[in-house]
Amino acid sequence: MNASISSLRRLFNVVRLMAALLIGLALAALVQGAVEGPRWLLITGIPATALVLTVLGDVAEPMRTSTVMTGLRSGGPRAFAPAVVNGVRTVDRKAGRPVLDGRSVNSVFAFDLTVMPEDRPAYRIQVCHPLDVQGLTHRSRAVVEYDPEQPWRVVVPDDPPRAWLARAAGAPAPTVVKDRAAGLPAGFWTLVTGVVCAAVLLTLMRLLG
């Protein structure tokens, strides 16, 4: 298990490094073409920059309440927390639109939850699951598992510890709820690394002349 997790982390780091290099090359070509030329660098840099930023935006996981979360990181930190069930609906797995047939293979349950961690303000988020885990269609409280470093990563476990179930059942609703979970969006550091790479490339081109 540990070997598999290490391999996944190495693969993820390689992919992130390649993405940062592509961003750096595209930005460097754009800036160089706009400032000193040649013109083909500018013509190439504009669509290349737009493409890598679009891909980065699609891959990045937004932290809005209406967004379906993708789950916990492999090998990342985890913690339990009680949550208030604000509502449950059945939505299309891909489009996210409400559907009538909850038994369809293309539908999932969308749980509108207010997560109440111990060490941060409560925040509202939507989590999807193909099954009605913990019977949340008939409950007002739930137990969730989340990433303390990236709190927008939230899942609803099928069989949480009994102590946490009892704790969630008696948890009062929070008086203050944040609209967004705290933390930087996924892809932020990849973009920053790409900008740094672009600055280094531009500096080298000026020095080498």
- pLDDT > 90 fraction of the chain, expressed in percent and rounded: 23
**Average pLDDT for 36-45:** 73
* Predicted TM-score (pTM) of this structure: 0.54
Helix (H, G, I), strand (E, B) or coil at 116: coil
141 against 44, higher pLDDT: 141
pLDDT value at 81 more than 90: yes
Residue pair 115/144 in contact by the 8 Å Cβ criterion: yes
Give the whole-angstrom CA distance, residue 201 versus residue 134: 53
- Find the Cα–Cα–Cα–Cα dihedral 26, 32, 33, 34, rounded to 10°: 110
What is the H or E stretch that residue 11 is in? helix 2-35
Q: Which two tokens stand for residue 68?
A: 């379906």
Give the whole-angstrom CA distance, residue 111 versus residue 113: 6
pLDDT value at 97 more than 70: yes
167 against 11, higher pLDDT: 167
Tell me: the pLDDT tens digits for 134-167? 999 999 999 999 998 888 889 999 999 999 999 9
Give the whole-angstrom CA distance, residue 41 versus residue 13: 29
Lowest mean pLDDT among 16-20, 114-118, 161-165: 16-20
**Average pLDDT for 87-114:** 81
pLDDT value at 2 more than 60: no
103 against 167, higher pLDDT: 167
Q: Find, among 17, 139, 153, the residue nearest to 73 by Cα.
A: 153
pLDDT at 180: 55
Q: Find, among 54, 61, 59, the residue nearest to 150 by Cα.
A: 61
pLDDT value at 60 more than 50: no
Give the whole-angstrom CA distance, residue 65 versus residue 122: 12
Helix (H, G, I), strand (E, B) or coil at 94: coil
Reported as a pLDDT band with limits 50, 70 and 90, residue 44 is: confident
82 against 196, higher pLDDT: 82
**Average pLDDT for 73-80:** 87
pLDDT at 64: 41
pLDDT at 156: 94
